[in-house]
């Protein structure tokens, strides 16, 4: 198979899906967009490198899902509606069975979110993917990191630490019971981007961010950008109860990577609206702390004392 065949057979499924906002997709030297003039455009890229972000023997359908899901999660964190994507792939070889599985999963998730693949690039390389996603919000209504205010509640979607626990099992650092591992591994391989929740929070939340490098590290991005501090209640952080017996539990929920849950702040007056947004988007959420004056983030245990063994999250260059 050559590159032309690859593009024509596998990557052109959305080439004919054109409309007033997307005038040209895969097939020319560039795609043409003509977005609504009242929209703000959100653009973001995320790269996944084999051996670093995924095991190169990962199932193609899981890999395709993850590449798109982590980028959808960035749109969710902005309160944006994802619309278009460009996929660049460096593959060591072109294998039809592999490409079929990869593309079926990719387009299944894309179609579920009405995201169109409008371009990309393909080259021979040792497993590297970059996806650029383009989304939109109504003008001026993005959820930004710098908008948290003192007194805000801090909320998180879903359950934290499962992906990190699965990864530690993969690395043989712990041995999870089989059903626990299955649940955690499913979360690690197939994160659910919280796009509907992000959209529903547009006029309700102040600041938002998705958790990819661990709760504390990502919360610190919001606090730093918003010049405030926070108290987090350790016992309120949602996770899988079966994980609590492990010595690594606190590290998993505070600093584990790959959760792709939504972390956001909202004023206490909006509690009811926040809960309604969660219900409307069928997303479980938990209130885990408050934003306060100051510069640091404190993690508090049930008796109000400070939990000090805080690991700060994943840093690729650490
Ligand atoms: P060029 O030589 O102009 O860069 P390419 O041969 O790389 O063109 O790509 C031809 C068309 O196929 C372009 O529209 C490009 O966006 C699209 N394309 C190439 N690779 C991918 C990919 N991995 N995913 C989606 N579209 C792709
Ligand atoms: Mg090219």
Q: CB of 117 closer than 6 A to ligand 1? A: yes
pLDDT in the model for residue 313: 59
Please name the residue whose Cα sits nearest to atom 18 of ligand 1: 120
Dist CA 82 CA 110 (whole Å) = 9
pLDDT value at residue 296:
83
HSE on the CB side for 297, CA within 13 Å?
24
CA distances from residue 177 to 164, 190, 237, 242 in whole angstroms, order as listed: 15, 20, 22, 9
Query: Within the chain, which residues score under 50 in pLDDT?
Result: none
Sequence-ordered list of residues with C-beta below 8 angstroms from that of 234, at least 6 positions apart, any chain: 250, 299, 300, 301, 302, 307
Which pLDDT value is given to residue 2?
84
Q: What is the pLDDT of residue 295?
A: 85
Ligand 1 atom with the smallest distance to the CA of 4 is: 6
Ligand nearest to the CA of 121: 1
8 Å CB contact between 310 and 254: yes
| Backbone phi and psi for residue 214, each to the nearest 5 degrees, phi listed first | 110, 145
What's the CA angle centered on 203, arms 199 and 208, to 5 degrees?
Answer: 65
pLDDT at site 216: 95
Indicate if ligand 1 lies below 6 Å from the C-beta of 110.
no
Pocket of ligand 1 contains residue 27 by CB under 6 Å: yes
What are the helix (H) ranges across the chain?
Answer: 3-5, 60-78, 96-112, 162-170, 178-189, 195-200, 215-226, 249-255, 271-280
Centroid of ligand 1 to alpha carbon of 318 (angstroms):
35
Q: What pLDDT, on a 0 to 100 scale, did the predictor assign at position 150? A: 98
Look up the pTM and report it: 0.94
* 8: DSSP letter: I
Kindly report the protein residue whose alpha carbon is nearest to atom 20 of ligand 1. Answer: 121
pLDDT of residue 314: 59
């Amino acid at each position: 198979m050559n590159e032309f065949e690859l593009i024509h057979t596998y990557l052109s499924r959305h080439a004919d899906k054109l409309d007033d906002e997307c005038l040209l997709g895969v097939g020319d030297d560039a795609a043409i967009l003509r977005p609504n003039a009242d929209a703000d455009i959100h653009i973001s890229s995320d790269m996944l490198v084999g051996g670093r972000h995924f095991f190169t023997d990962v199932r193609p359908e899981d890999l395709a899902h993850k590449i798109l899901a982590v980028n959808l999660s960035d749109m969710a964190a902005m309160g944006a509606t994802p619309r278009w994507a460009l996929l660049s792939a460096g593959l060591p070889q072109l294998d039809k069975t592999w490409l079929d599985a990869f593309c079926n999963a990719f387009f299944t998730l894309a179609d579920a979110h009405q995201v169109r693949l409008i371009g990309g690039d393909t080259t021979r390389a040792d497993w590297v993917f970059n996806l650029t996603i383009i989304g939109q919000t109504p003008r001026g209504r993005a959820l930004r990191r710098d908008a948290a205010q003192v007194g805000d509640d801090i909320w998180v979607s879903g359950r934290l630490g499962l992906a990190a626990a699965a990864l530690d099992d993969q690395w043989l650092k712990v041995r999870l019971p089989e059903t626990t591992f299955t649940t955690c591994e499913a979360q690690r391989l197939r994160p659910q981007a919280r796009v509907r929740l992000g959209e529903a929070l547009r006029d309700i939340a102040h600041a938002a961010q998705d958790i990819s490098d661990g709760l504390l590290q990502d919360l610190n991005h919001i606090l730093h950008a918003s010049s405030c501090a926070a108290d987090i209640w350790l016992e309120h952080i949602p996770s899988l109860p079966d994980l609590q017996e492990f010595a690594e539990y606190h590290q998993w929920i505070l600093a584990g990577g790959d959760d792709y849950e939504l972390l956001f702040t909202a004023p206490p007056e909006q509690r009811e609206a926040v809960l309604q947004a969660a219900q409307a988007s069928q997303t479980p959420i938990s209130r885990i702390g408050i934003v306060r004056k100051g510069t640091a983030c404190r993690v508090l245990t049930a008796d109000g004392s400070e939990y000090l063994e805080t690991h700060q999250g994943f840093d690729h260059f650490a």
